[in-house]
Structure 1
Amino acid sequence: MTTFSKATFDAASYLAFRPSYPLWLYDEVLTFHRTGGQGAATRAGAHFRSAWDLGCGPGISSVPLQAHFARVTGLEPSANMVASAIRIDEGAVRRYQREGGAARDGSSSSSSSSSSLAGLPAPLRTLLLHKLDTNARAGANATESKQQLGTIDYIQGFAEDLDTHCAPGSADLIVAGQAAHWFHYDRLWPVLSRALAPGGTVAFWGYAEFGLPDFPSTGPLISAFMSDPAAMGDEARAWLDKDKGVTNVGAYFERPGRTILDRGLVDVPWPWEVKGQGKADAEGDDKWDRASATRSMYSLAQLSPASRNPAWPAPSAHAESTEHTMDLVVDWSGLERYLRTASAVNNFLQQHPDDAARHGGRDVVMRFVELLKEQGPRGTEQLRLRWPLSLMMLKAKST
């Protein structure tokens, strides 16, 4: 996480070129929150007053929650991320609609800041507007916020210090998107047990190495570039031979955080699995509904074996469905910009400032993209990126 906290890290590019989370993911989380996780009827006590997003970055996972909760708060240690965070209110929605949806997203809006819908990445904007339209057509749900759009705020701070900012028993939902692999769970779970309201929900999700589902043969090459050399398969390792031209950046990810993410969050302990808790914290375990605990993989359709980690949790019922994937369609320039948001790439380039000069002006990302172009997607200008996604959820007892 220290990479993202550096003053040199480009938080605006992170927002612009990282993928947004799909609609079905929020449906999974909110259904779990309403039903208690076991497919039961809507539970009394499933409230939609307050949601917190831990390690929220620029708000990619926070903003969609505004369509469901009266108040959403993002907690993020990086000052750069907080400064770049998305701040959308109902006025921004009305302005966007009044301007004809920025000429149906033709970028004619007078504003492109993080406080305007036109300034959002298109997938995130589409998701938010879809949820608002669904709310309007369905009418106000008696259990959810009657506001069209809840308020949003961001606070600089660490997840483990949540109870400094959140009143005890006031959080109905606590999420973390692409951040759970950084937390210190001996400190965090006791904090969450105090912050959650009865019947509240914790949901953590994250994505690891991307794949190209339309070109599965590229899986080993992508792994050779992005994976930990100590953990990659033989096909990927073969790409690291000097005559192949692949420079591995996976070794430059911060670990064990990235390893936890690569393994589908299976190494994130449940509250009752944390070692060395004090008596008060151990008593806090009684707050959790252990039977509700669930951990699954999603978005696996058409991904090559090289893109799958044997340590992953069991696939969900929808894991191989093409309707339950986390995708982003980009051109080659978009792929390069996405890769440059990776902490491993940032760390590599900081430690090898002469990398481009030593390779004829082509840095490690440019060289990888050139190799990828040679492997399958010849003549293709649009690429579908797909990320395997892990999701773990747990409920607090209702009483």
Structure 2
Amino acid sequence: MATFAKSTFSHASYAAFRPSYPRSLYTTILSYHHGPRNLLVDLGCGHGVVARSLSNDFDHVIGTDPSAGMIAQAKSSTSSTDFANVEFREALAEDLPFIADGSVDMVVAGQAAHWFDYPRLWPEMRRIVRRGGTLAFWGYKDHVFVDYPAATRILMEWAYGMDKERLGPYWSQPGRSIVEGKLRAIMPPAEDWEDETRVDYEPGTRGKESGEGTLFMSRRLRVGECKEYVRTWSAYHGWQEAHPEVGKRAEGGKGDVVDAMFDEIVQAEGWESEEMEVDIEWGSGLLLARRR
């Protein structure tokens, strides 16, 4: 998670442009859960959206993240009056000494599980999660312009093309491959976890909900907002570090990799302006398991 821990990363932009999660996702997770709802731990909590969203469902919520910047963003976005039962701690998911053995009813991770060190994580999860407690990890891959196949194809070419002028070389691995695989590479040890359940979605390009599986994440955005969302990608931050002399056009620069990507999309699709709205959906994977 080194990218998000860097002082040069814009935690405010991440909070502003990253997608949130619908109540239907949380309902699916809570329906799976059995037993008390005393303590929830949100690993890799980022700016705190999951912790806040589940605060009414648990007596106490602890959000953890190794990035001091993310924790600061989470605290500034979380009213102590409205969310009195939520706290945030700077910590690695693999090392949570302030959480007592067997005290956690549910542990979650939204768009963070691909960063974890699993040989270290699984023993810590075995320690802190009570018997019968729930593990819920989910993540989302690249977004799809559901009405625009050419735009989606071009986005993929720029996102994963291995030319150094594109974004492909700058993804952290194996994390990105884990996300692309909808977290299928994450396998809870069978001796500690049971009732494993997976809920996936792969978007289509024949309109809304034309994909396969259970859709959780969709949004209608202006083209300009889509550009700023891509600029929250860790690969974009890596590209920036490799091209410090190149600025985005909106700030007086000659145009960065995202400007170039969307120039090609606009030409292919005939989009008229950055104020135009488009529907997008994200491919996603949800992993649920119960502590033996």
Q: TM-score, structure 1 length as denominator?
A: 0.66
Is the contact between residue 203 and residue 282 of structure 2 (CA under 8 Å) also seen in structure 1? no
Runs of 4+ with >3 A deviation: 318-321
Whether 2:192 is the aligned partner of 1:259: answer no
Deviation at 1:301, TM superposition (A): 4.3
Which among 40, 55, 60 is matched to residue 66 of structure 1? 55
Alignment of 1:154-303 (within 5 A): 154-162=88-96, 164-227=97-160, 229=162, 247-272=165-190, 285=191, 287-288=192-193, 290=194, 292-298=195-201, 300-303=202-205
Relative contact order (alpha carbons < 8 A, sep ≥ 6): 1 or 2 greater?
Answer: 2
Distance across 1 between alignment mates of 2:126 and 2:159: 36
Deviation at 1:377, TM superposition (A): 5.4
Which residue of structure 2 lines up, in the alignment, with residue 374 of structure 1? 267
Distance across 2 between alignment mates of 1:356 and 1:202: 41
Distance across 2 between alignment mates of 1:14 and 1:331: 17
Deviation at 1:385, TM superposition (A): 2.0
| Larger of the two Rg values belongs to structure | 1
Deviation at 1:52, TM superposition (A): 0.4
Which residue of structure 2 lines up, in the alignment, with residue 342 of structure 1? 233
Is the contact between residue 327 and residue 387 of structure 1 (CA under 8 Å) also seen in structure 2? yes
Whether 2:64 is the aligned partner of 1:75: answer yes
Alignment: residue pair count? 282
Which residue of structure 1 lines up, in the alignment, with residue 38 of structure 2? 49
Task: Identify the structure with the greater strand proportion.
Answer: 2
Gaps of 5+ in 1: 35-45, 93-148, 230-239, 241-245, 273-284, 305-317
Which residue of structure 2 lines up, in the alignment, with residue 15 of structure 1? 15
Residues 79-119 of structure 1 deviation map (CA, whole Å, 9 limit, x = unaligned): 00000103235x44xxxxxxxxxxxxxxxxxxxxxxxxxxx
Which among 330, 340, 350 is matched to residue 221 of structure 2? 330
Task: Identify the structure with the greater helix proportion.
Answer: 1
Question: Residues 26 and 303 (structure 1 numbering): CA distance in 2 closer, same or farther, change over 3 Å?
Answer: farther
SS at match of 2:87: strand
Gaps of 5+ in 2: none
Question: Residues 218 and 84 (structure 1 numbering): CA distance in 2 closer, same or farther, change over 3 Å?
Answer: same
SS at match of 1:211: strand
Deviation at 1:11, TM superposition (A): 0.6
Equivalent AA in structure 1 for residue 8 of structure 2: T
Whether 2:267 is the aligned partner of 1:364: answer no
- Aligned-residue identity in percent: 34
Distance across 2 between alignment mates of 1:156 and 1:18: 21
Distance across 2 between alignment mates of 1:364 and 1:52: 37
Is the contact between residue 68 and residue 150 of structure 1 (CA under 8 Å) also seen in structure 2? no
Distance across 1 between alignment mates of 2:212 and 2:104: 30
Which residue of structure 2 lines up, in the alignment, with residue 307 of structure 1? none
Please say which of residues 373-382 and 215-224 is displaced more in the overlay: 373-382
SS at match of 1:334: helix
Is the contact between residue 25 and residue 216 of structure 2 (CA under 8 Å) also seen in structure 1? no
Distance across 1 between alignment mates of 2:203 and 2:140: 14
Question: Residues 59 and 303 (structure 1 numbering): CA distance in 2 closer, same or farther, change over 3 Å?
Answer: farther
Residues 259-317 of structure 1 deviation map (CA, whole Å, 9 limit, x = unaligned): 11111111113224xxxxxxxxxxxx3x43x2x0122312x34347xxxxxxxxxxxxx
Equivalent AA in structure 2 for residue 174 of structure 1: V
Which among 278, 288, 292 is matched to residue 393 of structure 1? 288
Alignment of 1:119-138 (within 5 A): none
Question: Residues 221 and 363 (structure 1 numbering): CA distance in 2 closer, same or farther, change over 3 Å?
Answer: same
SS at match of 1:73: strand
Distance across 2 between alignment mates of 1:153 and 1:375: 47
Which residue of structure 2 lines up, in the alignment, with residue 118 of structure 1? none
Distance across 2 between alignment mates of 1:2 and 1:220: 29
Is the contact between residue 302 and residue 320 of structure 1 (CA under 8 Å) also seen in structure 2? no
Distance across 1 between alignment mates of 2:279 and 2:225: 11
